[in-house]
Structure 1
Amino acid sequence: MMCGSTAVYASGQLDGAKLAQEKVCLGCHQVEKARVGPPFKAIAQRYQQASDEIEVYLAQAIRQGGRGRWGVIPMPAQPQISEEDALTIARWIRGLSLEGATNE
């Protein structure tokens, strides 16, 4: 039985994975392998030592897009994803550096 923040973390991880699939993030990204964009685990590893504020940065990158962070292919803006959903996805991505799971 999980309790406290562990339950919230586990629930957030499941919600983030589900949202990444529902919001078609997996069309350009995979968990462990490069596709059009970098693998989610590479993103998690890049930012694993960053403060928790990096999750807000990643959520903004999801919604606003960007270029030059991971090579020449730009990340298109995804404004249809709500701020709350983008933050949930960002937390899930960041959490991939803390676990051994490979949910694709």
Structure 2
Amino acid sequence: MTRGVAFAVAMLTAGALAGAFTSSARAADAPRGQIVANSNACMGCHAVDRKLVGPSFQQIATKYKGDAQAPAKLSRKVKDGGSGVWGMIPMPAHQSMSDADIRSVVDWVLAGAPSK
């Protein structure tokens, strides 16, 4: 396992643990895409407004603004993983996420990752 992949795995694990402690009251007020992102360790590598391991969700929204193909491109990227678009650290595949959950996250991200 390369250092980059090991780091990404460690960050995903940390994100999963952090997401497990989200209060149910806060989760009930959040958009569905944000809830799905929290429950699938997305926040271990991404933040709404700042770069972590990967780009912020707001950076992603800005990059793909006006791109009609963005929902399909990003859905494939979440499902299959990838690297090279935002740097050398690879994004792991999320094969176990349902297409509906992936689309919820992608739609939320492309909307600028709003909190409500």
| Shorter-chain TM band | 0.7 to 0.9
Identity of matched residues, %: 33
Shift of 1:31: 0.4
List, as ranges, runs of 4+ consecutive aligned residues in structure 1 with deviation greater than 4 Å: none
Q: Which runs of 5+ in 1 are unaligned?
A: 1-12
Shift of 1:56: 1.6
2:112 paired residue number: 96
1:81 paired residue number: 97
2:25 paired residue number: none
1:49 paired residue number: 66
Letter in 2 for 1:85: D
Paired positions, count: 86
Q: Which runs of 5+ in 2 are unaligned?
A: 1-29
In 2, Cα distance between equivalents of 1:56 and 1:84: 12
One of 16, 19, 38 as aligned partner of 2:55: 38
Of the two structures, which has the highest relative contact order with CA contacts closer than 8 Å and spacing of 6 or more? 1
Shift of 1:24: 1.1
Normalised TM-score (structure 2)? 0.70
Letter in 1 for 2:40: K
Normalised TM-score (structure 1)? 0.77
In 2, Cα distance between equivalents of 1:69 and 1:58: 11
Letter in 2 for 1:69: V
Shift of 1:83: 1.0
Letter in 2 for 1:79: Q
Query: Over aligned residues, Cα RMSD in angstroms?
Result: 1.5
1:67 paired residue number: 83
1:58 paired residue number: 74
